[in-house]
A and B are shown apart, each in its own frame.
Chain A
Amino acid sequence: MAFREYKIGARLFGLALGGSMMITLYMPALDIVSVASTELGLRKGLSYGRVGGFSYEDPFLQGWGKPQTVLLKKDPKTGRKIEPIYAYVYKADVPFTSSIRHPRILGTGVKDLSLSKGRIGEANEDNGAVFIVAEGRFDGKTVSYIENATATKSWSPEAVLNTGGDVNTTYVGSGKIMFVREGCWWCHTLLPEQTQDWQVFGVPPRLGDFNSESPTAFGSDRKAPDLLHVGSRNSSKEWMMMHFFNPRLVQPHSIMPRYDYLWGEVDIDGKTIDYDKWRTEYTAYARGESVYAPDVPVPARDSEARYLIDFVLSLK
């Protein structure tokens, strides 16, 4: 080979690149895989489903194949009143989040309790399953773990959805898909910074807050407020609805695009949304020719707008 003169150089090149891979990939990986999931991490992973970017079940990011998050106030099996609890409902054939498929990524303690007390190993994608987050003791410490309520309490996905009803059901997983597809994260970061940010935008994420989340969509180019804790600052569905339809309705100086197209064809009552008419009326309002802005249609139950609002409000 014509590299005879370059034997030393070629080997040094391998050594240099290999060394840098060792330090930047292998060593951090050792640290990262040992991180135990926090309660928040468990809840995020369970509500987002398997993967938030391109996936086989949802190639064009329509929000298909994602779990629902249901706020339960009654036991779906017995009908008795219980302390309100979030249940993460995976209907049949909805792929489980990565931590159910590979419990190892939950980290020591969380993995052990989820498998032993939570019985997540018994969950089956073909039949669907309901998961909740429970607390237990491991090695003398309180640890949150995942409980497979289908196995431990015989809660079926259908029963949980029926008991919760539409009012208590949120499409957080599908909403995360909207957040990724519509590029919200090109402007709104999900990473309050450790220096000054946290007084305004809330605490920065901790280790273990996203063990089963992908993509993390931290964002890098902030042109708008950080959203990691937006649900704590503003929990109004109406405000979100107006803001997504036309941000200038609630914030005249906003440079956010209008996301009215996420409403689709019809509103919650099945009435066709006349966008041209709305825009004409809004323009008249913006010019000061009319006193009131036109009403924003309430998004249909299965509209992308509803998914996105559910996701944003879930960011506590």
Chain B
Amino acid sequence: MLKYLFAKNEDIPPGTAAVYFGMSSILWFVIGTGLGSFNAAKLAFPDFVMGSELFSFGHMRQVHVMAVIFGWISMAFAMAMMYITPALGNTRLWSEKLGVWNCFLWNFGLSLALTLLWAGMSSGREYSDFPFFIDIYILAFVVFPLGLNVWMTVLKRRTQGIYTTNWFFAGACFMLWIVLLVGNLPEYFQLTGLSEAYLTWWFAHNVLGLWITPVAAAIAYYTIPKITGNPLYSHRIGHLHFWSVVVFYSTPAAHHLMSSPLPEWLKSFASVEGVLILVPAIAFVSNLLLTMTGKWHFFVDNVETKFTITGVLMAIPLNMQGGFQQTRAINWYIHGTGWIVAHAHLALLGFSTFLEGAAVYYGLQTILRRKLYSLALANFHFWFLLIGFCIYWISMTIAGLIQGAGKIYEVPYIDVVIAEHPYMIARWVGGTMVFTGNCVWLYNMWMTAREGTKIPEGRLPHELAYER
């Protein structure tokens, strides 16, 4: 990477930034899920690694969350943007050099931020745990250059229209910038009390709703038509998806604080808007499943489609949960329980990870012009991810329901802890399977870059047979 930081823009091969982002994201995924598995072990076996402040649960939980959100998920998004935006604009990335710098500053900043966070330098606000100067660094050196590159590539495109995916990419980069700027106001200006609490969840809600969910969906709008060869079922439904995300997903932040003393009108409004999340969700899922018409064999044959469609299918339970669990009728039972933890992993480890995984698999092969090293290892990765995730999701959902019952029947809390113990072990097993799968993925992608079959000019990776 270092040699390209100071090279002339024209001398950097197209796709370089995407490759660096892709490989970094996989590495961060391994780190993030490794931390997750370690944390889960501590919940199942509390005396596992003790006596050290640095390896205590309270210091490591947020490092796991931030490593997967800013390392894995967001870097995989950046990777997808670096190669999909120019491809859909029939042009080159606006500045490959900016992309390489962006990747370098992102990795540097994230390593620094996670080290400080691990050492205890935290703002004490969930999902915006980084201290304010790291937030400013992220705004200036992570999100701004990324957005600039995407926007300029879209502006310099050589196609007449803008495809749905690029609408999402450009819109989400802009929205993420705003969300980071506004969501961290309590840290810049030391806001207190309800303003601080509300903005914490305003940030947490919108970073998911206006960044992770739309970008992950946008990737599917690219990979499925590209690989199956079917045109998108309806560009107009894609637009419905985009607009309903902007309108409906940006408003229900208060539903995360249904039992706090926020204004009642705000909570009711948020709850109603929260149900409307089903509009973009149904638009997205139906559009992609209809795009698959006649090409369902790809779901079995092709590993990228397998990942994408699995992610799309997971959007169904995700949004059914998301839409209704925040209404007062359901929220009182499951709020603050393991159910929510399961739901959060359904969004990040289920839905969006599977969609991005496809983008990284597909992008690295196309840019490197190398066929995937091993299909068997890719399938191993897929199944370990899926089974590990399902174990996690099911066990935490059950644990959450137990906890909810304990809450309403006023069971002494320790009995809830005892009842949850088997599910804590299951969660650790599931998380460790995900981690194992990711280690295999890293190896597979590394070997793809070095030893994958060369893809001839003019062919797409999935048109070639696997050699292993």
A, B co-complexed: yes
Q: Is B458 an interface residue (CB 8 A)?
A: no
Query: A207 at interface (Cβ–Cβ under 8 A)?
Result: yes
Q: Are A105 and B171 in contact (CB under 8 A)?
A: no
| B residues in contact with A24, CB < 8 Å | 202, 250-251, 253-254, 266, 270
CA distance A219 to B259 in the complex (A): 12
Cβ contacts B161-191/A at 8 Å (1 or 0 each): 1100000000100010010001000110011
**Interface check A253, CB cutoff 8 A:** yes
For chain B, residues 181 to 209, give those with C-beta under 8 angstroms from any C-beta of chain A: 182, 186-187, 190-198, 200, 202
Instruction: Indicate the size class of the contact surface on chain B.
Output: 35 or more
Does A35 sit within 8 A of B, measured CB to CB? yes
Is the CB–CB distance between A221 and B341 below 8 Å? yes
| In contact, B46 and A3 (Cβ under 8 angstroms) | no
Residues of chain B with a CB closer than 8 A to A185's CB: 124
Task: Tell me whether A216 and B43 are in contact in the complex, defined as CB-CB below 8 angstroms, given that A61-B122, A257-B50 are known contacts.
Answer: no
Interface presence of A258 (CB below 8 A): yes
Contacts of B50 in A (CB 8 A): 257-258, 260
Please indicate the chain A residues that have their CB under 8 angstroms from the CB of B420 in the complex.
223
Tell me how many residue pairs across A and B have CB atoms closer than 8 Å.
227
Contact partners of B132 in chain A: CB under 8 A: 54
Question: CB-CB < 8 A to A184: which residues of B?
Answer: 58
Residue A220 contacts which of B162, B256, B407, B418 (CB distance < 8 angstroms)? B256
Q: Identify B336's interface contact among A31, A204, A220, CB under 8 A.
A: A220
How close is B407's CB to chain A, nearest CB, in angstroms?
6
Given contacts A61-B122, A195-B332, A215-B124, contact A257 B196 (CB under 8 A): no
**Is B139 interfacial (CB 8 A cutoff)?**
no
Determine whether the beta carbon of B46 is less than 8 Å from that of A257.
yes
B262, A216: Cβ atoms closer than 8 Å: no
Where chain B touches its partner, the secondary structure class is: helix
Of chain B, the residue at the smallest CB distance from A221 is B341
Assembly CA distance A253 to B261 (angstroms): 33
Complex: A3 Cα to B410 Cα, angstroms: 59
- Mark B28-53 against chain A: 1 for CB-CB distance below 8 A, else 0: 00000000000000111011001111
Which of A2, A214, A225 has a CB less than 8 Å from the CB of B186? A214
Interface, chain A (partner B; CB < 8 A): 1-3, 5-6, 12-13, 16-17, 19-21, 23-25, 27-29, 31-33, 35, 41, 45, 50-54, 59-61, 98-99, 105, 180-186, 189, 191-197, 199-200, 204-207, 209-225, 247-248, 251, 253-261, 275, 279
**Smallest CB-CB A-B distances: 4 pairs:** A183-B58, A54-B131, A215-B124, A53-B124
User: Can you report 11 A-B residue pairs in the complex whose CB atoms are below 8 A from each other?
Assistant: A2-B157, A13-B171, A24-B253, A60-B121, A61-B121, A183-B57, A215-B123, A216-B193, A253-B418, A258-B50, A261-B51
